[in-house]
Chains A and B, each alone.
Chain A
Amino acid sequence: MSSGTDSGTAARMPTYLGMPAFPDAARRAVGDTRLRRNLAHATSTIRRRRAEAVAELDDWAALREAGRQIKDHVLANLGHYLRLLEEKVTEAGGTVHWARDAAEANRIVTDLVRATGETEVVKVKSMATQEIGLNEALAEAGITAHETDLAELIVQLGDDRPSHILVPAIHRNRADIRDIFRRTMPDAPAGLSDSPAELAEAARRHLRAKFLSAKVAVSGVNFAVADTGTLVVLESEGNGRMCLTLPETLISVMGIEKIVPSWRDLEVFLQLLPRSSTAERMNPYTSAWTGITPGDGPSDFHLVLLDNGRTATLADEVGRQALRCIRCSACLNVCPVYARAGGHAYGSPYPGPIGAILSPQIRGIGSDVDSSLPYASSLCGACFEACPVAIDIPEVLVHLRARAVEKGRKHPLERAVMDVAGWTLRSPARLALAQRAASAGRHVVGRRGRIRRLPGPLSAWTDTRDAPAPPEESFRAWWNRTGGKGE
């Protein structure tokens, strides 16, 4: 198989357009027994390890607070820090590009690659380039992007979508991976087994050839240190180091919120991020570069600063905290909804709790999936507790729900029910009346105190759960009858 086939693969990569609403997508995932098992196993393991890694530090709470404050400070002074970053990167020999949205960013990157005359690029795993659909845009221009992160490679070769920020192929097990490699990797050894070592070795050989021949690399950015113009990428496999150092041209795409003011601030995040994401004390490969250095690494460096809905998000006083996110994925790993619905149901490269608050903000709530995301949570609060930069995700979810209700003309039935309930609950007399009616009807609906079937939308409850029948008298009625003393 030639690389031309790979480019075909990239072009066929499913996009997120027309994704069903979260509950519908989740229903399919809930019924997928293998997915459920893979996810439950993977998330519970990493959850336990994260808790241990965090418990090792007695100043975790202070670190978390520092992380929150640094990010908030940057967001409050974003214009200043962006200009400073641009100045420093330019001074160091890099070129800075500003992209208002996905289309603009894709055009900039495509033009830069075209200018080199190359038709292949190697990529370091990056959320920002997934967000803008860069691989698909490059494929349209006849440029093949090779993902070099192992899990990302599995997703790409499998013609699939990532389902986790850090472990994009979390929904795959090793038998799946072997099948994908055998099917799509031209240089996979004959008789490849599903042993992790063999699979890793096959990927290694496959990728090594790409690294050595690539002239252009595309990366994301974990942190940009404004006062020196240094960019930082964290990864675990060394593939990033290869991409960032071997090619002649390096193009990095970063969301405008990824800035930290100085190296002292970076230190905080180099502690918070590895422990929260991979449960490691220190990140394995941390690459940092400042512009270009003659004779050492790429000779041409471009930084694309991506807005794509971020300034709009920044304008929302409650919602803006989502921009503190450092993409550690701790919130995914502790989320009981994510563990059952899987990443694909969120309809974006950002799954789980962070996706539920980020996608509707950066994309708006125009589509079915985006308008349903703020409701994809039981508000249990596990994400907020785990988040290393203290994003109060439940608070933002409820805020986005309120915005959806204010704006939307959807769900007329729900609206009517909420209005009637609100009207009833505003008055103790009306509530008492409703309670008497409920008590009077108790024998009609329930047998032995249990209701097995409720009508209309309430049947969603009784499909799997009994409902209690109303009692003979409400507490209020009892109190009135006995003064709080009787039986």
Chain B
Amino acid sequence: MKVALFITCLNDTMFPGTGKAVVRLLNRLGHEVDFPQAQTCCGQMHFNTGYRRQALPLVRGFADAFAGYDAVVTPSASCGAMVRDWHPRLAADSGDRALAARVQALTPKVYELSEFLVDVLGVTDVGAYFPHRVTYHPTCHSMRMLHVGDRPLRLLRAVRGIDLVELPEAAECCGFGGTFALKNSEVSAAMCADKVTNVRRTGAEALCAADNSCLMHIGGALSRTRSGVRTVHLAEILASTEEDRT
């Protein structure tokens, strides 16, 4: 199986540790991972803000970069949803039939990390060790667009040493929403404040999610309030092993 990593522009630029964790994890599970250098961005920011014209070249670029792979794995539910839900429609609307056909063939092979592990590789115990109190925030797009369900939680429950505690009001949006956080910063901050309150109620040491965009948002408030809670991407927990500990 030829597996490609779709890192996403945000992780590539700001959170390389998450990408490294995916590579380490998949290697440990016996799979080679390729990083197609031509990849850049799924176009979600442009598309969601209304800039469709700028999103289309990114749809095309994605199809070019990942052609020929059996599976494309991404550590972002939000970008995964953009590709799976919207790329086919944007390509179809463009009137370029060849592009539409290529996108149609490619997008079902795009998996968010927990989907790839549970559905394609068939594992829930990835042999990870993470001796910390952790709470998990199911991001909106992972739940309501990709419908990953409890896959991330099944993976987390199998992690050795972890003290996984339930997050109250877990399904509530954290208020990130891309440019929403800037355009409606007051409401966004109010939503974030409530999320932070719920995170702190758990007594967790780390907040985990399958998307660094939401974690960047909540983490920004956790750090600003000196809450003593850090954020950690799902991939980074799953990649940790007993040997990593120094």
- Chain A residue numbers with a CB within 8 Å of B178 are 379
User: Across the interface, do A475 and B7 meet the contact criterion of CB distance under 8 Å?
Assistant: yes
- Chain A residue numbers with a CB within 8 Å of B223 are 450, 465-466
Given A375-B180, A466-B224, A30 and B35 contact (CB-CB distance below 8 Å): no
Q: Which of A340, A426, A461, A479 contacts B191 (CB 8 A)?
A: A340
- Is A26 in the interface zone, CB < 8 Å from B? yes
User: Across the interface, do B50 and A23 meet the contact criterion of CB distance under 8 Å?
Assistant: no
Given A384-B144, A464-B221, A465-B224, A23 and B183 contact (CB-CB distance below 8 Å): yes
Complex CA–CA separation, A463 to B17 (angstroms): 27
- Chain B residue numbers with a CB within 8 Å of A329 are none
- Chain A residue numbers with a CB within 8 Å of B40 are 425-428, 431
- Is A438 in the interface zone, CB < 8 Å from B? yes
User: Across the interface, do A473 and B144 meet the contact criterion of CB distance under 8 Å?
Assistant: no
Complex CA–CA separation, A416 to B52 (angstroms): 14
- Is A378 in the interface zone, CB < 8 Å from B? yes
User: Across the interface, do A401 and B50 meet the contact criterion of CB distance under 8 Å?
Assistant: yes
User: Across the interface, do A461 and B184 meet the contact criterion of CB distance under 8 Å?
Assistant: no
- Is B99 in the interface zone, CB < 8 Å from A? no
Given A23-B184, A26-B186, A336-B175, A401 and B48 contact (CB-CB distance below 8 Å): yes
For this complex, 5 residue pairs linking A to B, each with C-beta atoms less than 8 Å apart, are A375-B179, A378-B191, A382-B144, A425-B41, A484-B33
Chain B residues 1-17 with CB under 8 Å of chain A are 7, 9, 11-17
Bitwise, B102-145 to A at CB < 8 A (1) or not (0) is 00000000000000000000000000000000000000110111
Bitwise, B9-33 to A at CB < 8 A (1) or not (0) is 1011111110110010000000001
- Is A419 in the interface zone, CB < 8 Å from B? yes
User: Across the interface, do B13 and A470 meet the contact criterion of CB distance under 8 Å?
Assistant: yes
- Is A380 in the interface zone, CB < 8 Å from B? yes
- Is B92 in the interface zone, CB < 8 Å from A? no
- Is B198 in the interface zone, CB < 8 Å from A? no
Complex CA–CA separation, A52 to B220 (angstroms): 35
In the complex, what residue of chain A is closest to B55 when comparing beta carbons? A422
Further 10 A-B residue pairs, CB within 8 A, beyond A425-B58, A465-B220: A30-B190, A36-B190, A401-B48, A405-B52, A427-B40, A428-B39, A468-B220, A471-B14, A475-B15, A475-B35
User: Across the interface, do A431 and B173 meet the contact criterion of CB distance under 8 Å?
Assistant: no
User: Across the interface, do A478 and B20 meet the contact criterion of CB distance under 8 Å?
Assistant: yes
Chain B residues 71-120 with CB under 8 Å of chain A are none
Given A467-B220, A468-B14, A471-B15, A337 and B35 contact (CB-CB distance below 8 Å): no
Q: Which of B12, B20, B23, B57 contacts A435 (CB 8 A)?
A: B12
- Is A294 in the interface zone, CB < 8 Å from B? no
User: Across the interface, do B51 and A380 meet the contact criterion of CB distance under 8 Å?
Assistant: no
User: Across the interface, do A474 and B50 meet the contact criterion of CB distance under 8 Å?
Assistant: no
Say how far A321's CB is from chain B's closest CB, in angstroms.
15
User: Across the interface, do B185 and A377 meet the contact criterion of CB distance under 8 Å?
Assistant: no
Complex CA–CA separation, A235 to B68 (angstroms): 59
Bitwise, B24-67 to A at CB < 8 A (1) or not (0) is 00000000010101111101011111111011011001000000
Chain A residues 15-58 with CB under 8 Å of chain B are 22-23, 26-27, 30, 36
- Is B188 in the interface zone, CB < 8 Å from A? yes
Residues of B near any A CB (own CB < 8 A): 7, 9, 11-17, 19-20, 23, 33, 35, 37-41, 43, 45-52, 54-55, 57-58, 61, 140-141, 143-145, 171-173, 175-193, 216-217, 219-221, 223-224
User: Across the interface, do A461 and B220 meet the contact criterion of CB distance under 8 Å?
Assistant: yes
User: Across the interface, do A465 and B144 meet the contact criterion of CB distance under 8 Å?
Assistant: no
User: Across the interface, do B185 and A378 meet the contact criterion of CB distance under 8 Å?
Assistant: no
- Is A381 in the interface zone, CB < 8 Å from B? yes
Q: Which of A374, A378, A426, A438 contacts B188 (CB 8 A)?
A: A378
User: Across the interface, do A422 and B182 meet the contact criterion of CB distance under 8 Å?
Assistant: no
- Chain B residue numbers with a CB within 8 Å of A336 are 172-173, 175, 191
Say how far B128's CB is from chain A's closest CB, in angstroms.
19
Q: Which of A30, A382, A406, A418 contacts B140 (CB 8 A)?
A: A382
User: Across the interface, do A473 and B220 meet the contact criterion of CB distance under 8 Å?
Assistant: no
- Chain B residue numbers with a CB within 8 Å of A461 are 181-182, 185, 220
- Chain A residue numbers with a CB within 8 Å of B55 are 422
User: Across the interface, do B54 and A376 meet the contact criterion of CB distance under 8 Å?
Assistant: no
Complex CA–CA separation, A27 to B187 (angstroms): 7
User: Across the interface, do B46 and A475 meet the contact criterion of CB distance under 8 Å?
Assistant: no
- Chain B residue numbers with a CB within 8 Å of A380 are 140, 144, 173, 177
User: Across the interface, do B189 and A398 meet the contact criterion of CB distance under 8 Å?
Assistant: no
Residues of A near any B CB (own CB < 8 A): 22-23, 26-27, 30, 36, 336-337, 340-341, 374-382, 384-385, 398, 401-406, 414, 418-419, 421-422, 425-428, 431, 434-435, 438, 450, 452, 457-458, 460-468, 470-471, 473-476, 478-480, 484
Given A30-B186, A398-B48, A458-B182, A381 and B140 contact (CB-CB distance below 8 Å): yes
User: Across the interface, do B48 and A418 meet the contact criterion of CB distance under 8 Å?
Assistant: no
Complex CA–CA separation, A185 to B111 (angstroms): 62
Complex CA–CA separation, A404 to B109 (angstroms): 33
In the complex, what residue of chain B is closest to A36 when comparing beta carbons? B190
User: Across the interface, do A418 and B54 meet the contact criterion of CB distance under 8 Å?
Assistant: yes
Complex CA–CA separation, A403 to B219 (angstroms): 33
Q: Which of A30, A401, A428 contacts B187 (CB 8 A)?
A: A30
Q: Which of A375, A405, A464, A484 contacts B224 (CB 8 A)?
A: A464
User: Across the interface, do B217 and A465 meet the contact criterion of CB distance under 8 Å?
Assistant: yes
- Chain B residue numbers with a CB within 8 Å of A427 are 40
User: Across the interface, do A426 and B61 meet the contact criterion of CB distance under 8 Å?
Assistant: yes
Q: Which of B46, B145, B184, B192 contacts A422 (CB 8 A)?
A: B46
Complex CA–CA separation, A402 to B47 (angstroms): 8
User: Across the interface, do A473 and B16 meet the contact criterion of CB distance under 8 Å?
Assistant: yes
User: Across the interface, do A431 and B144 meet the contact criterion of CB distance under 8 Å?
Assistant: no
User: Across the interface, do A474 and B186 meet the contact criterion of CB distance under 8 Å?
Assistant: no
- Chain A residue numbers with a CB within 8 Å of B144 are 380-382, 384-385
Say how far B159's CB is from chain A's closest CB, in angstroms.
22
User: Across the interface, do A379 and B180 meet the contact criterion of CB distance under 8 Å?
Assistant: yes
User: Across the interface, do B20 and A422 meet the contact criterion of CB distance under 8 Å?
Assistant: no
- Chain B residue numbers with a CB within 8 Å of A425 are 9, 40-41, 43, 58
- Chain B residue numbers with a CB within 8 Å of A405 are 49-52
In the complex, what residue of chain B is closest to A420 when comparing beta carbons? B54
Say how far A332's CB is from chain B's closest CB, in angstroms.
14
User: Across the interface, do B51 and A27 meet the contact criterion of CB distance under 8 Å?
Assistant: no
- Chain A residue numbers with a CB within 8 Å of B173 are 336, 378, 380, 382
Complex CA–CA separation, A478 to B19 (angstroms): 10
Most B C-beta atoms less than 10 A away, residue of A422, A435, A465, A476: A465
Say how far A478's CB is from chain B's closest CB, in angstroms.
6
